[in-house]
């Protein structure tokens, strides 16, 4: 028997810049051209963005090949869309010297990032997020993927962007329900990592809801600092990064059980209340703390209870399939105070007794 050892040189340390501003979209292309002078560019966006005029604003008079995802939204987040994108790139004779520019919300960013990760074994992607959820969360950190017919992000890759441009001015055209739901990821960041940021969100909620761009820029800075520092510690989600899944164990299950009628942020709001109830049951939380969180969610106007029409059995089955599950029983991310994640023996996703989880699901339905 012969054994040959192949040593792969470790990838060079990657870093990228997140640029945050208001009404910067029209000047971003000059910077992209300066940073990537030798790359062909291929834009991926969706029909909502086209209707809002954002691709035109980004490219000006330049002729840039653009793939428009239709219809916009989770329904198109599947492997068929990725195949169409890749084949369109081939028809345009694009090669490995191409830069994909993802302009849009979480769905566009996830699809475009995944297409970039597999096109001719991987090409760079630049993210220009335009929704509250994408600017706070999904455009940063390199998670990309599409859904299978069975579960969310079943096809996926970690594929970090080569740059992120956040123009909070693009949030002005976002539909009200999407805008509000996406704010939950900002509340989540505050809850897991920065109590002063939570105070800021409480104090400035009226300005946030009226889309005051100064306040939105401050939020974007907080969100990117929190998310960026977690991703730097644990880019591949072996442990610490799980803290970003606060509220997601119950939240993802609720989202899926609702057949995606509930938006991601709306489902995560319910999941965060669920985590708060578990914290009370396990002595990590108080009613007063949960009330504070519930009040901010009520002002944002997202649900805080599991809708009556969701089948409990289906929900429990989906919770058991959560990616943090070990031996078919889920793990939960919990906080011990606002702005501080709870850890046990260095672990960030913890086992919770079955009776407590069942009691909490019951309370989440019946309060
Ligand atoms: N949205 C959670 C993460 O990026 O890890």
Burial classification of residue 138, based on how many CB atoms lie within 10 Å of its CB (0-12 exposed, 13-18 middle, 19 or more buried)? buried
- pLDDT score, position 11: 60
Burial classification of residue 64, based on how many CB atoms lie within 10 Å of its CB (0-12 exposed, 13-18 middle, 19 or more buried)? middle
Distance CA 211, CA 201 (A): 13
- pLDDT score, position 13: 66
Which numbered atom of ligand 1 lies nearest the CA of 237?
A: 5
Please work out whether the CB of residue 244 comes within 6 Å of at least one atom of ligand 1.
Answer: yes
Longest dimension (CA), the chain: 71
Model pLDDT for residues 45-67, shown as the tens digit of each residue: 999 999 999 999 999 999 999 99
> Ligand 1: which of 227, 264, 271, 341 to mutate, judged by most atoms within 8 Å of the beta carbon?
227
- pLDDT score, position 235: 93
Distance CA 141, CA 51 (A): 28
- pLDDT score, position 367: 59
What's the length of the chain? 367
3-state secondary structure of 144: strand
> Ligand 1: which of 229, 233, 244, 272 to mutate, judged by most atoms within 8 Å of the beta carbon?
244
User: Using an 8 Å Cβ cutoff, are 178 and 300 in contact?
Assistant: no
Model pLDDT for residues 3-25, shown as the tens digit of each residue: 888 887 766 668 999 999 999 99
- Pick out the chain residues at pLDDT < 70: 10-13, 322-328, 366-367
Nearest to 138 by CA among 150, 153, 123: 153
Q: Is 248 a catalytic residue?
A: yes
- pLDDT score, position 10: 66
Residue nearest to atom 2 of ligand 1 (CA): 244
- pLDDT score, position 259: 85
Which numbered atom of ligand 1 lies nearest the CA of 141?
A: 4
């Amino acid at each position: 028997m012969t054994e040959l050892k192949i040593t792969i040189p470790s990838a060079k340390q990657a870093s990228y810049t997140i640029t945050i501003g208001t009404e910067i979209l029209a000047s971003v292309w000059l910077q992209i051209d300066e940073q990537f002078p030798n790359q062909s560019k291929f834009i991926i966006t969706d029909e909502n963005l086209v209707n809002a005029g954002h691709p035109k604003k980004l490219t000006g008079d330049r002729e840039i090949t653009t793939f428009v995802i239709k219809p916009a939204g989770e329904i198109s987040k599947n492997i068929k869309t990725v195949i169409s994108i890749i084949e369109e790139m081939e028809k345009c004779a694009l090669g490995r010297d191409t830069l994909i520019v993802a302009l849009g919300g979480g769905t566009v960013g996830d699809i475009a990032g995944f297409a970039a990760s597999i096109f001719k074994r991987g090409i760079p992607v630049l993210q220009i997020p335009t929704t509250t959820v994408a600017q706070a969360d999904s455009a940063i950190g390199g998670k990309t993927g599409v859904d299978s017919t069975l579960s969310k992000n079943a096809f996926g890759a970690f594929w970090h962007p080569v740059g992120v441009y956040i123009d909070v001015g693009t949030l002005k055209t976002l539909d009200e329900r999407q805008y509000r739901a996406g704010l939950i990821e900002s509340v989540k960041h505050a809850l897991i990592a920065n109590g002063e940021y939570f105070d800021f969100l409480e104090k400035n909620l009226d300005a946030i809801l009226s889309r005051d761009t100064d306040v939105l820029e401050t939020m974007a800075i907080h969100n990117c600092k929190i998310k960026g520092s977690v991703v730097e510690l644990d880019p591949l989600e072996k442990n610490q990064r799980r803290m970003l899944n606060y509220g997601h164990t119950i939240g993802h299950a609720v989202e899926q059980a609702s057949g995606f009628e509930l938006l991601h942020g709306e489902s995560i709001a319910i999941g965060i209340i669920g985590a708060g109830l578990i914290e009370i049951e396990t002595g990590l939380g108080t009613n007063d703390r949960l009330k504070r969180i519930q009040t901010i969610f009520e002002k944002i106007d997202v649900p805080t209870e599991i809708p009556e029409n969701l089948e409990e059995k289906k929900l429990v089955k989906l919770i058991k399939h959560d990616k943090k599950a070990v031996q078919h029983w889920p793990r939960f991310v919990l906080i011990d105070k606002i702005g501080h994640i709870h850890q046990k023996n260095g672990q960030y996703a913890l086992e919770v007794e079955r009776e407590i989880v069942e009691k909490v699901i019951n309370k989440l339905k019946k309060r």
